[in-house]
Structures are given as structure tokens and as C-alpha cells.
């Protein structure tokens, strides 16, 4: 076991038992505070943000791999992510050491403690990565089967290539936003039922998609694929993703090249990047892949993670969110090693900060379906909300909250939430 994942570790910072951010997690984010508008890198611990920029300036990373380097007093995490796994692991170990309940180095330095710890409700979280490219996969067999059944029938639900490769498309990095950002309902071309010609209209079938994404750390050179075996050397960490989707726009435009305007208007991510080292304790075996994938896609079956996920909706008439979906990352048919290997097998180069998302994560039963399209089966089975309202798809004013965490022995490793409110179309 990695010592930083030891269930017996305790921090001198008080951490509630159900917190997403114990000392075993230590996710990275970028923030600014009212007292200091300069953006810098921090880690979450309990309900506090530990300012790594302040620790860096105080020299607490001297005699580590980061000696004399400036990586945390930066607007984005890209520079740190590019350094690679040995650097990440040494820094994680150092931060864990500094936060231990029995280490006086930071605990008893009252001047630095006052400067370095800021309550979460006193900071503004920022997009943590300068995202150069964004690729969205389609890796849930249950989701692909559900959608295929709706549009092509049960006998032709999966396309012939689906069980042989991780299907994906390139998304739009510029419209990836941090949790808490309001989302505007888009306009687009739609084809009304029984119509021969499209019309220009606001989307009437606005949906969420329950996803997770990973960030590339060290990149690769053009012409040199990353193998599934070595993929983890290039994956820094993961976030929650809501890839908002306009289903009526998508239905009209997606043939033959796939989604475009139906998804490029907004993608919400959670602000804290949970590292793969923090997730290492939650590895599990993925689904059996049959037929066996081609050799370049073969990976250890214990290459996925037991991450509990849920989606809630809160209308403007409701006092609290209502859970409409409970799923799990482990349901994905294609794992992140395979996704990165397939993406680069042509020699496509990737760069620090590139993001790749899983596609909708649906489970085997209706309560675990990861989109309104599936939960309401194309609107034919509306969801009943506690307020007495019903939803076939999302209404203006609805707030969607995605949350996720791993359950450990006496602790959780969580992702916080990816939250967004749907605003009316801009006239």
C-alpha cells in the first residue's frame, strides 16, 4: 500500500468523517481568495484549502523534487502536471507529511498556518487546467445499448465497431467551465416531428450526461503512441464531468460525423483533481471484454475504479436537490488506459492539460442510467419530482449536481461536485 493511502493517517486539521477530502485524498485545485486575488494552487483538506503557493514561498518544498522550482504560484496546474509521476508522488508524500497530526513542522508554525489555510467558503475556485484539447469517449456499454435500442432497435443497438474500440469524438475545450457556472440554453437547428425541413429554435430537449474525465500529465511526441501498459505514467488525475447535451439539435446534426453544436455550448467539471495515486486503493476489476480487444488495447482488468456517482436535480420550486441517478465508474466497458492508448495509436500527440471524458456512465438498471434521455426513455416516462413537477428533460431554472466518491476503510476519497444551473435561452 502507498503510505499516503494508509487508513490510519490523521491530519491536525479536523476532517469530518463523511468529508470528501481527508488526508488520504489531497486533490489539487486552483483558487483565489478575497484577501489575495492572485491565482495559485491548493489542496483540499477537510473544509480548508491549503495554499501550496504559500508553502512554496516559505521553502517547505526545499530538498524535494521541486527544490528551486516555482509550480504552485501559477494560474494553472499544467506545469506541475507535466513533471511526471515521480515528481507527483514525492510532492504528495511531502504534503501528507506536513499535514500529519504528529508532525509539528506546519502544525506548530502559527504564522504560516494562519496564512496557508483558508476556509473553502472563503475562496473562489477556478478552472484548474489550461485545457488544450478535449476528447469525449462513448465507453459505457449500458448507455450505448440504451441509446442504440431507442433509435435502431434492440437487435441493432450496438454498432459493429463498438466492442472492438473505444468510440470517441473531439469536443470543444473553450466551453469547459468550472462547477457553479450557469449554463445558457442553446439555439440550434432542429427537425420537428413529421417535418420535412429544419427550423431554428431553442433546444427543447436539454439533458445532462453523467461522466468523469482525466487529465494528461506528461505528453507524447507526434508519431509515438502511448501503450496501455504505460498509460498511467501519462494520467495525472480525474474530475467529475457534466457534458450538457441538446438532444433535439443532436438528433438532426449527428449523422454522419457525430455531435457538434449539440454539445459544444458547455461542459461542467468539478474544481478538484483527484490524483491517480489517491484512487489507487480503489482499483477494481472491470467488465469482461468479449471479443478480446486487439493487442494494443489489452490491459490489466484491474484497471478501473469503484467510484460511487449520483446526479440530483433541483428546480426553482424545490428547497433541496432530488437524486435521480446512482451509478458507478466501474461500469465502464473501456477503461482509461485503453482510451489513452487508442487515442494515440495513430501517433496522435497529447499535451499536458488535455482532457478526456468517459462518455455517459450508465449502470445495469434504470436507477443508474446517466442521462435524462435514458431515465425518461426519450421522454415517455417522466421523472416525478418531490415538488409535484415532472421532467422529461431539463427546464430553465433547474440546477444539476453531480457528486462522486470512493468509500474506504474509515474514510472517503471524494470529488466534491460538478454543479450548474440552466438559464433561459439568450434572445
Residues marked active site are found at 143
184 pairs with which residues across the strands? 423
The burial class, CB within 10 Å (0-12 / 13-18 / 19+), for 303 is: middle
Give the integer Cα–Cα distance in Å for 382 and 257: 30
Give the integer Cα–Cα distance in Å for 385 and 395: 12
Q: Which residues contact 45 (CB under 8 A, 6 or more apart)?
A: 11, 13, 15, 21, 22, 23, 26, 99
Give the integer Cα–Cα distance in Å for 404 and 335: 18
In the numeric block, the cell 415532472 is attached to: 390
Mark out the alpha helices in 20-134 (DSSP H runs): 52-57, 78-81, 85-99, 104-107, 110-116
Q: Which three cell numbers stand for residue 392?
A: 422529461
Give the integer Cα–Cα distance in Å for 142 and 325: 14
Give the integer Cα–Cα distance in Å for 118 and 368: 36
In the numeric block, the cell 440554453 is attached to: 185
The burial class, CB within 10 Å (0-12 / 13-18 / 19+), for 395 is: middle
Amino acid at each position: 500500500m502507498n503510505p499516503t493511502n494508509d487508513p490510519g493517517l490523521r491530519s491536525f486539521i479536523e476532517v469530518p468523517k463523511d468529508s470528501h477530502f481527508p488526508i488520504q485524498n489531497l486533490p489539487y485545485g486552483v483558487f483565489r481568495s478575497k484577501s489575495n486575488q492572485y491565482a495559485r494552487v491548493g489542496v483540499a483538506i477537510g473544509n480548508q484549502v491549503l495554499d501550496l503557493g504559500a508553502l512554496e514561498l516559505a521553502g517547505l518544498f526545499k530538498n524535494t523534487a521541486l527544490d528551486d522550482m516555482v509550480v504552485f504560484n501559477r494560474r494553472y496546474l499544467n506545469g506541475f502536471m507535466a513533471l511526471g509521476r515521480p515528481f507527483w508522488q514525492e510532492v504528495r508524500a511531502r504534503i501528507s507529511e506536513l499535514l500529519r497530526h504528529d508532525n509539528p513542522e506546519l502544525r506548530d508554525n502559527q504564522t504560516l498556518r494562519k496564512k496557508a489555510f483558508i476556509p473553502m467558503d472563503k475562496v473562489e475556485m477556478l478552472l484548474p487546467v489550461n485545457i488544450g484539447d478535449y476528447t469525449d469517449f462513448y465507453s459505457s456499454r449500458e448507455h450505448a445499448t440504451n441509446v442504440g435500442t431507442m433509435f435502431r432497435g434492440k437487435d441493432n443497438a450496438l454498432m459493429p465497431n463498438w466492442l472492438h474500440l473505444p468510440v470517441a469524438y473531439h469536443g470543444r475545450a473553450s466551453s469547459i467551465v468550472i462547477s457553479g457556472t450557469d449554463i445558457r440554453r442553446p439555439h440550434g437547428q432542429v427537425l420537428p416531428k413529421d417535418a420535412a425541413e429544419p427550423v431554428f429554435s431553442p433546444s427543447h430537449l436539454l439533458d445532462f450526461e453523467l461522466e468523469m474525465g482525466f487529465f494528461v500529465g506528461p505528453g507524447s511526441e507526434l508519431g509515438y503512441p502511448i501503450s496501455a501498459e504505460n498509460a498511467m505514467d501519462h494520467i495525472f488525475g480525474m474530475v467529475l464531468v457534466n457534458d450538457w447535451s441538446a438532444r433535439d439539435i443532436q438528433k438532426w446534426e449527428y449523422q454522419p460525423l457525430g455531435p457538434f453544436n449539440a454539445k459544444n455550448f458547455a461542459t461542467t467539471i468539478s474544481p478538484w483533481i483527484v490524483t491517480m495515486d489517491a484512487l489507487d486503493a480503489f482499483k477494481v476489476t472491470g467488465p469482461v471484454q468479449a471479443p478480446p480487444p486487439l493487442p494494443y488495447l489489452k490491459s490489466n482488468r484491474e484497471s478501473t475504479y469503484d467510484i460511487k456517482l449520483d446526479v440530483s436535480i433541483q428546480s426553482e420550486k424545490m428547497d433541496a436537490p432530488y437524486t435521480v441517478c446512482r451509478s458507478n465508474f466501474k461500469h465502464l466497458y473501456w477503461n482509461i488506459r485503453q482510451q489513452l492508448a487508442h487515442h494515440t495509436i495513430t501517433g496522435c500527440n497529447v499535451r499536458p492539460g488535455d482532457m478526456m471524458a468517459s462518455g455517459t456512465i450508465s449502470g445495469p438498471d434504470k436507477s443508474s442510467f446517466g442521462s435524462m434521455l435514458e431515465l425518461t426513455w426519450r421522454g415517455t416516462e417522466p421523472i416525478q419530482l418531490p415538488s409535484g413537477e415532472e421532467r422529461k428533460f431539463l427546464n430553465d431554472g433547474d440546477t444539476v449536481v453531480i457528486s462522486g466518491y470512493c468509500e474506504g476503510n474509515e474514510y472517503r476519497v471524494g470529488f466534491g461536485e460538478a454543479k450548474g444551473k440552466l438559464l433561459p435561452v439568450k434572445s
